[in-house]
Amino acid sequence: MPEGHSVHRLARQFGSVFVGERLSISSPQGRFAAGARRIDGQTLVGSRAHGKQLFLTFDNDLELRVHLGLYGAWSFGGDDTFRGASSIGAPRRVGEQETSDDGEELTYAGPPTPVGAVRVRLVASHGWADLRGPTACEVLTSGESAMIESKLGPDPLDPHADPEAFTARVRRSRTPIAALLMNQSVIAGVGNVYRAEVLFRRRLNPQTPGRELSTTDVQALWSEAVAAMLNGVRNGRIVTTDPLIWGGGVATPEEAHYVYRRAGKQCRVCNAKVLVSELAARKLYWCPDCQS
C-alpha cells in the first residue's frame, strides 16, 4: 500500500501540473460516471494530502477524495511542458520509486486510449492523469471532507500537525506500539515499511504497549517518522538505512531497509537474525536483540 510520502508527492504533482486548469473528467471504466459528472468542466483550485488520503478541490466547492489502498495507482502524461512522475501508486504496480513506464521522455498528442480499468481520467491542456484500482474514490463537499479528516490522526508530513495529539493517544493505550503506528486515527500516513523501520531506528520493541513508553520515547518516535517520511518525499522511495551501508550513489532495494522484508537475514547492526510475525493482519519485522 502506498504510504504517506507517495500521497504527498501526488498532491504536489497535481498542484504543479493541474491546479488552475479547467479539467475534463470522465470514467472510462464507467464505475465513477456519476461522480465524474459532478466535477467535469470545473477548475482545480487545490490539492492536499492527509496521511494516505488525497483531496482534490474544485471551484464548485466539491472535492475528489482518493484512497489508493493496496492496488490503486495514478499514471500521468503530457506535452513537453509536463514535469513529474509518470506513475505514483501501489508498490505492487509501479514500485517504490516513481519512473516513466518505458524509461523514455514522455510525449503528448492528447491522452492515449484508456488501457485497463481506468476509474477516473482527468485531462488538462498540457497533461492527463488516470486512476486505477483505488480503495476509495468519491466526490464530497468540503464539509464532508472535513469530517473525514477530523477522524484522522496528525500527519508527520504536515508542518502544522500537532505531535502532542499523537503522544497523548499513544500513552493512554494498552495496544502494542507497532499496531498503534498502523492506526490512521493515531498517526496518519505511516504504513508497514515506515512502521518497521522507525521502530528499529528508535530501538523500540514493537510489542511494547503504548502506555509503557515514556513521553520522551514517543516524541522521539514522532521525530523519527517525520525525518524518514520527509526523506521519502524528497526521493520518491523509502530508504531508511545509513548511507554508509550503501557506500554512496543510490541504495538498491536490498540496501534500503534495516529490517523490512529481511526476515532470516542478519541485522545490519548486531548480526542477530531479523524476525517476522503477524500483527493486525500485516507482517511485522524486527530485530530481537536491538529491539529487546
Residues involved in catalysis: 2-3, 52, 282
How many C-beta atoms lie closer than 10 Å to residue 37's C-beta? 13
Coil, helix or strand for 226?
helix
DSSP class per residue in 11-57: HHHHHHHTTT-B-EEE-TTSTTHHHHHHHTTPBEEEEEEETTEEEEE
Grid-cell match 521519502, residue found: 232
Q: Decide if 137 contacts 93 (C-beta within 8 A).
A: no
In this structure, what C-alpha cell is assigned to residue 234? 524528497
Grid-cell match 508530513, residue found: 157
Q: Decide if 198 contacts 221 (C-beta within 8 A).
A: yes
How many C-beta atoms lie closer than 10 Å to residue 185's C-beta? 11
> DSSP character for 253?
G
| DSSP H stretches of helix in 110-205 | 142-150, 163-171, 177-180, 192-201
| Cα–Cα distance measured from residue 271 to residue 273, given in angstroms and rounded to the nearest whole number | 6
